[in-house]
């Protein structure tokens, strides 16, 4: 598995001050909080042995994360207004060619008609068959 990600990192400093009026809000100690403002990444996963049920399991996992991205357990942070979590999870269509993959990550460009056709082919022909293979493997207890 390999991947790449881009993050914009910021270190926040806060002074803990006394609430006693006679202390004139003098700092008692300084604390540092690390925060990731945003992180955007893409991962390329390669199987040593490619089996339809492996691809289906990966697709099911990604669908689960995308469907539950707002669940509390998938969120980070919690200190005042800072928080983060899963925004989008998608499996990039494995039928795409190299030039089509570049389009996926270019936010200024949408899908071509050929890409839309491949998306339908992936969903209707391949993924549904792969999910059947996964269900059979689970049923067989392998």
The 10s digit of each residue's pLDDT in 69-120 is 777 766 655 544 445 666 677 888 989 998 998 888 787 888 999 999 999 9
Structural domain total, the chain: 2
Q: Based on the domain organization, do 34 and 52 belong to the same domain?
A: no
Confidence at residue 40, expressed as pLDDT on a 0 to 100 scale: 63
Confidence at residue 77, expressed as pLDDT on a 0 to 100 scale: 53
Q: Based on the domain organization, do 123 and 85 belong to the same domain?
A: yes
**Above 70 in pLDDT, residue 124?**
yes
Find all residues with CB under 8 Å of 101, minimum gap 6, and list them. 92
Q: Based on the domain organization, do 42 and 55 belong to the same domain?
A: no
CA 48, CA 55: separation in Å to the nearest integer? 12
Q: What is the DSSP letter of 118?
A: H
Sign, CA dihedral 47-52-55-60, equals: negative
Q: Based on the domain organization, do 34 and 62 belong to the same domain?
A: no
Q: Based on the domain organization, do 55 and 23 belong to the same domain?
A: no
- Please provide the distance, in angstroms rounded to a whole number, between the alpha carbons at the two ends of the chain: 24
Q: Based on the domain organization, do 64 and 28 belong to the same domain?
A: no
CA 72, CA 82: separation in Å to the nearest integer? 14
Q: Based on the domain organization, do 100 and 114 belong to the same domain?
A: yes
Q: Based on the domain organization, do 26 and 92 belong to the same domain?
A: no
Averaged pLDDT for residues 53-64: 90
Query: 82 phi and psi, to 5 degrees?
Result: -85, 130
Domain range spanning residue 110? 48-142
Write the CA distances from 70 to 40, 108, 135, integer angstroms.
17, 26, 27
Residue 69: how many CB atoms within 10 A of its CB?
Answer: 14
Could you tell me the pLDDT band of residue 1, with boundaries at 50, 70 and 90?
very low
- Average per-residue pLDDT in the chain? 77
Q: Based on the domain organization, do 42 and 53 belong to the same domain?
A: no
Q: Based on the domain organization, do 53 and 84 belong to the same domain?
A: yes
Q: Based on the domain organization, do 76 and 19 belong to the same domain?
A: no
Q: Based on the domain organization, do 63 and 85 belong to the same domain?
A: yes
Q: What pLDDT digit, counting tens, does each position of 2-27 carry?
A: 455 555 555 555 666 677 777 777 77
């Amino acid at each position: 598995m390999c991947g790449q990600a881009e993050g914009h990192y910021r270190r926040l400093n806060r002074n803990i001050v006394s609430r006693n009026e006679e202390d004139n809000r003098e700092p008692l100690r300084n604390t540092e909080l690390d925060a990731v403002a945003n992180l955007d990444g893409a991962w390329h996963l390669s199987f040593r042995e490619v089996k339809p049920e492996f691809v289906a399991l990966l697709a099911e996992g990604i669908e689960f994360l995308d469907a539950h991205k707002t669940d509390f357990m998938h969120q980070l942070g919690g200190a005042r207004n800072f928080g983060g979590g899963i925004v989008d999870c998608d499996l990039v269509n494995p039928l795409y060619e190299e030039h089509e993959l570049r389009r996926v990550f270019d936010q200024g460009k949408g899908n071509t008609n050929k890409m839309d056709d491949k998306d339908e082919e992936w969903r209707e022909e391949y993924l549904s068959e792969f999910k059947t293979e996964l269900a059979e493997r689970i049923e067989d207890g392998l």
